[in-house]
Amino acid sequence: MRWIRWWALIIFGAASTIFTGWWQLDVLEAFQNTTPDPLLNGRFVDPSIPGLLKSIAKDGEIIMMAATGGYTGFVMNAICYLRRLGVSHFVVLALDGAVWEFCKEKKLGVVRASSLGIQKRYGAMAPSLRSKEFNLIAREKHAGVLACLLNGLNVLLLDVDVVLLRDPYEEIWPLSKHHDFVFQSDAKLEDAPNFYMNSGFYYATPSLGSSLVIAHVLEDTHDGQNQEQTVLHLLLCGSSNSNAVDQWECKNTALNASSTVLDRKKFTNGHAVTRAPGSAAVLSWDPYSIHFNWLEGKRNKIQVMQALGMWLVDDKNECIREFHMERSKELAVEFDRLLGL
């Protein structure tokens, strides 16, 4: 009887491996061959991506940042903070040729979302927020996430206007043991933390559930009519948060994928910054990160970040100095003035 059990285990293991490999190929082929998406142009990602991702990753972890050419300064600013934390396992997902060339010049790890380059389609001017063109560009970062997941990597996706002040893994890793996704909350302070999740700051672990969720995001946003962040939230938390387990967690039982959100004081979103009663309170939180996502306009973001000492790049896009957050009354007053509070 023992040899029967051993053979059963061997057969089960082989079947699991074959199924996993088949499923991964099926997902890739779906996007390579059947997705009506000119951005992908019949290809999932650049063929060099899997090998490069694994060479950059550290202990199965990788940080990915996506950007277009108008935001190369933000790319470098985010990298300055990562270097300050001693982090080297990051890669830039180039959404156009300008970012690709910038990263090559700076000798940064970079991959392309498609072989065509979005710059040829949209030109140098960034599309307006929530436009079809904007939605098509924004969805590309999830293609990068799926590439990481299908290669067995844990991935932390960051928008380039995120400033990391402390090691985020201290808070993320304990939560990721029980969830496929860990998000920065994008909810207002008066709402439940998981009322809305931010797709510009999230951590995903490789699982069937997480990969299916991201595959659905790509499928449901292929024509630019839907916003990727809205689709991602609906997939996990449901309409009117019908999939919410509590005010922190959501679970899509059909896809077998669960999510939770980070503390808003520790991982400060744009709402928390701009709507806080006083920015002195924000600074006193000593957050792990600040996401300047609700400050409209590139110049406005830079102005506020410079006033806070959080813009660490010079005119040549080189890191210029270290920064340690100050909790000063003068800084809080200046912050309030810039935000019109």
* pLDDT more than 70, % of the chain: 70
Question: What is the C-alpha to C-alpha distance for residues 134 and 113, in angstroms, rounded to an integer?
Answer: 15
pLDDT at 15 over 70: no
Strand boundaries in the chain, DSSP class E: 61-67, 90-94, 110-112, 154-158, 162-164, 181-185, 197-204, 249-252, 257-261, 267-268, 289-291
Residue 39 is predicted with a pLDDT of: 30
pLDDT at 25 over 70: no
Sorting pLDDT into bands at 50, 70 and 90, what band is 194? confident
Residue 71 is predicted with a pLDDT of: 92
pLDDT at 136 over 90: no
Q: Which residue has the higher pLDDT, 159 or 316?
A: 159
pLDDT at 40 over 50: no
Q: How many CB atoms lie within 10 A of CB 258?
A: 21
Rounded mean pLDDT, 231-235: 95
- Find residue 183's DSSP bridge partners: 202, 261
Rounded mean pLDDT, 260-285: 70
pLDDT at 254 over 90: yes
Name the helix (H) or strand (E) containing 222.
none
Residue 326 is predicted with a pLDDT of: 43
Q: What is the mean pLDDT of the chain?
A: 77
Rounded mean pLDDT, 324-330: 41
Residue 11 is predicted with a pLDDT of: 44
Q: Which residue has the higher pLDDT, 304 or 204?
A: 204
Sorting pLDDT into bands at 50, 70 and 90, what band is 47? low
Phi, psi of 258, rounded to the nearest 5 degrees? -125, 155
Strand boundaries in 48-122, DSSP class E: 61-67, 90-94, 110-112
pLDDT at 280 over 70: no
Residue 298 is predicted with a pLDDT of: 85
Rounded mean pLDDT, 64-78: 93
The CA–CA distances, whole Å, from 98 to 102, 119, 125, 158 equal 6, 8, 12, 19
